Amino acid sequence: MSTAAAAGEPDSHATAIAAERRWAWVVIAIMALLVAMMIFTGLHWSAMPPSRVETVDVKTLHLKGEFVESNLGTSVGADGKVTVRLIAQQYSFQPQCIVVPAGVPVTFRGTSTDTIHGFVVGRTNANTMLIPAFVSTFTTTFPKPGEQLMPCHEYCGTGHEAMWARVQVLPAEEFMAKAKPGERLSCVPR
């Protein structure tokens, strides 16, 4: 450094150019990385459902299998596992009001009958897309009782902003007292 400074103008000029060039390569590398990430996420994530790949036939969804109307809502299995089954359609969720216990893992299983929908539950990490022909699955625990809003968060058409449901998180004892084997729980939206 001190020799370059002592030698005067030409050397410090060369040093500046070398530094500029190094920074240019750093910037090019960052831009290349960002473009590669955009291409990867665009091709990979948008084409894939957010959970493991499980398919369902949209044409027979209402008629048979897991997502018939009588099977929607919250159920408690023989093993005590809590499962919420729901479907999304333009422009509502079925059921419109979902009951879950606090402090207990709850598994959501959902799909869509028409176009891509999604939902997020209040300020929790419950957040997924619902894609026709795919079953979206995730498990989460609601820490405390209370009522949460559950809006659709994928633009699905002109009624999108009016598409939402409610989630009632009950104290675990209250929930378990209501839950009967083989029955589906839901609530009346206020």
- Quote the CA–CA distance of 87 and 111 in Å, as a whole number: 5
Candidates 121, 163, 170, 179: give the one binding ligand CUA (CB under 6 A): 163
Of the pair 152, 170, the CB lying nearest ligand CUA is at 152
For the chain, the residue count is 190
3-class SS string, the chain: CHHHHHHCHHHHHHHHHHHHHHHHHHHHHHHHHHHHHHHHHHHHCCCCCCCCCCECCHHHCCCCCCCCHHHCEEEECCCCCEEEEEEEECCEEECCEEEEEECCEEEEEEEECCCCEEEECCCCCCEEEECECECEEEEEEECCCEEEEEEECCCCCCCHHHCEEEEEEECHHHHHHHCCCCCCECCCCC
Candidates 82, 121, 156, 170: give the one binding ligand CUA (CB under 6 A): 156
Residues in contact with ligand CUA, counted by CB under 6 A, come to a total of 9
Candidates 58, 104, 138, 160: give the one binding ligand CUA (CB under 6 A): 160
Of the pair 72, 156, the CB lying nearest ligand CUA is at 156
Candidates 154, 172, 176, 178: give the one binding ligand CUA (CB under 6 A): 154
Least distance to ligand CUA, CB of residue 69, Å: 19
Of the pair 2, 46, the CB lying nearest ligand CUA is at 46
Least distance to ligand CUA, CB of residue 149, Å: 14
Please, which of residues 114-153 interact with ligand CUA by CB under 6 A? 117, 152
Least distance to ligand CUA, CB of residue 153, Å: 7
- In the complex, which residues of this chain contact ligand CUA (CB under 6 A)? 88, 91, 117, 152, 154-156, 160, 163
